[in-house]
Amino acid sequence: MAETIRTPVFQRYDVLEKIGSGSMGAVYKARDVRLDRYVALKVLPPGLRDHPESLERFKREARVLARMKHPGVASVYDADVESDFPFMVMELVEGENLEQVLRARGPLPVDEVIRLGGEIAEALEHIHCHRIVHRDIKTANIVIGPEGRAVITDFGIAFVASLPRLSHGTLGTPEYMSPEQADGRPMDGRSDLYSVGVVLYECLTGKVPFERGGESLTALTDLLRRILEEPPPSLRSRRPEVPAWLAEVVERCLAKNPNDRFARAAELAAALQPPPVIEVPATAPASPVPATWQPESTASVRSSTILISHAEAVEAVRFSPDGRRLATACKDRAIRVWEVRSGRLLRLLKGPSALSVSFRPGGVYLAAGCVDGVVRIWDVEGERLVQAIHAHTGYVLSVAYSPAGDHLASGAMDGAVHIWQARTGRLVRTLGQHTGYVLSVSFSPDGAKLASGSADGAVRLWDVKTGRLLRRLKGHAGYIPSVAFSPDGVRLASGGVDGAVRLWDVRSGQLLHKLQGHSDWVMSVAFSPDGAQLASAGRDQSIRLWDARRGRPLERLKGHTGAVMSVAFSPDGTRLVSGSTDHTARLWHLGRRTFRPGRWLRWLAVVLLLAALVGLALFFDRLPLDRLSFNRADLTGLFGTPTENNSAVSRRGAGSGSVRPVSPAPVQPLAPPGTHTPGGQRPASSSGPETSSEGRAGSSVLRPAAPRDELYGPGGLVLGHGGYTLVVAVETNRHRAQALAARYRDDGFRVAVLGVLFQGRLTYRVVVGQFAGWDEAGAARRRLVRGGTVPFDTWIMRLQPAERWRVER
């Protein structure tokens, strides 16, 4: 390279003008003579000719940079050395850099800063993926291209820093340096993120956080000292209209400790995504900003208020005991307390990232389980840390106060469940040891029991006073992220990674219901205050409401765009809050049931119609049906009663699917065991025949007796004598009904499939067992439902021998 006093001269590049300079060289606009294109030429300090190893490393780094292809990164075309001067040839991005833009316009609009910050972070993620640290991110090195996009330029310091001999001293622009860069410590991509924080701060306020007082060495030393020791001035004090969440993102970038910043540029880009517009409840003064998203609305669930609570995923949500405040927590090192009515941020509790929160009764104190294994207790009103309990050796995944507020339970990744004295933080006892992470803990309403869900696939019930294991509930396949007691303490809900919610009987440990609806992990479950509803939150981005007593689905709440991690009811049951990985907590308004005259009139009309039909059925039941001109089966079919031949069904009957007709003459009621019938015949035992008197004088017909309480046996149902049975399924497909009946039959049950004409359509009812009375049938139903043998919605059906049945085998 030949040089003049004013501008360098290159063999291939025709230097046109100087467009920038810094401590590590100057940048020129030049024309590539061979390719006839304009380029940016970065001339670096000399010193490579006599160091072959450094020269080879310089070229290797250039090849890495040349492979980077991203719209937010200026391309590197070439790198070489002439006359001992290394230089880079880069893409010439037409436009002004951010330094020029700020000088001309002053602080930029917030929306524009958010967009530019996201573009810079995305470009840095691409650079860091190639294991390059830029080391000189500043407004002068970010050019706003013709399309308005931010483009990172000038990799000069990234080159020079890779050369050991040339990297003595501090490289970079002091105002934008991270503390570790100012102190000469090792750096990684998080150092660039600090510089991005300075750029965002300057774009929002027009000033960098720390300014140099002059050009002297003393001023430079003082600047570096403040970068190392002093916190940056509050961004919102300089520009109050900056949103709190954006100020927190910038503050996190400017953290002194690299571990407290975003781990990657991709996380910063995600945090700078434009959040949804806050929708304020109708009771609060609404702003005229139009909503950008409307949640799906149903008759009982109205629109939700969206709280932009965190820059990262919301891990936990809880209402205060009075329902006026709401706490949200996630991994961004802060817990926020909101006013429910207006959505206003009340308190910001800073500390290590929290994964779970629980209000103490009274609402003054809030416990948080943190990633450093510590349970922290905050005074919410005073916004101060009261106590730090060094509880576990791993993440504290769940905390819960007892109903009386005297105890605090914690579960963690170390597999331990601890109970602490709430006031002093003293360890009361450790409840055994799970074989996997303890993901959730919950006290019973009386405080006597504690439930814990673990990664070992089991729910454990403990006696709080003695620490004794009461019961181990098995059913889930894999992790159990959440458990919750019903308000009456009778039932326990658990959500699993198998996508199922299970309801257990606390006293017996029996499974009451298995609620299927989620297509992914169930991360959280919660009972409504009256115990009538159960809410479940899933990684499938949905919240489901269930009838907690009947085990039936009610509603599906959609709106989150990420996994829903936590859900909770307000104390009055009118609201539901959910926290998600989409960085929002949503407050759902559950509509109260209101009196609707039209609706009640329709129901009254239906009831009166049914009463009239039942009256007609009873009237025709007393008439001599053989004299009527219509088929009685057509009438009784309207009520779901069987329609064809009476029969006795038995495995040992006359062939498969055989039907044995029985005379429809009236039958004497079943006599109690051990008594005589009017015909003089003594009934046999429940497994033998019984004689009954029939209508014709001098004759009697032997007919099998209905078992007193028989569920099991090798034979089928005896339909000729009536009784009661349990309907376990109704199918429209005969083959499905037969397959289900075969499954019950293989388990030893007495089973039949009855063809029933209902509302003009033939359906197939799978029935199990035969009982002489309603009480016996009800007792059997309760026993089988609790054991999980028959579905919860099994009902009792009366078998009337005067009817004609179609029996399917």
Residues annotated catalytic, as ranges: 136
Distance CA 462, CA 401 (A): 15
- Which DSSP symbol is given to 332? S
Distance CA 216, CA 174 (A): 13
Distance CA 29, CA 19 (A): 6
Written as one string, the DSSP assignment of 635-661 is: HHGGGT---S---B--TTSSSTT----
3-state SS of 284-308 is: CCCCCCCCCCCCCCCCCEEEEEEEC
CB environment 153-170: b (16+ within 10 A), e (fewer) = bbbbbbbbbbbeebeeee
Distance CA 437, CA 479 (A): 9
Helix (H) / strand (E) containing 15:
strand 13-22
Longest Cα–Cα distance of the chain, Å, equals 139
Closest to 86 measured CA to CA, from 48, 29, 37: 48
- Which DSSP symbol is given to 664? -
Distance CA 501, CA 808 (A): 35
Amino acid letter, 328: T
Helix (H) / strand (E) containing 240:
none
Name the pairing type of β-strands 8-9 and 795-799. unpaired
∠307-308-313 over CA atoms, to 5°?
110
Location of structure tokens 């467009």: 19
Long-range contact pairs involving 10-18 (C-beta distance under 8 Å, separation at least 24)? 10/41, 10/82, 10/87, 11/82, 13/39, 13/41, 13/89, 15/41
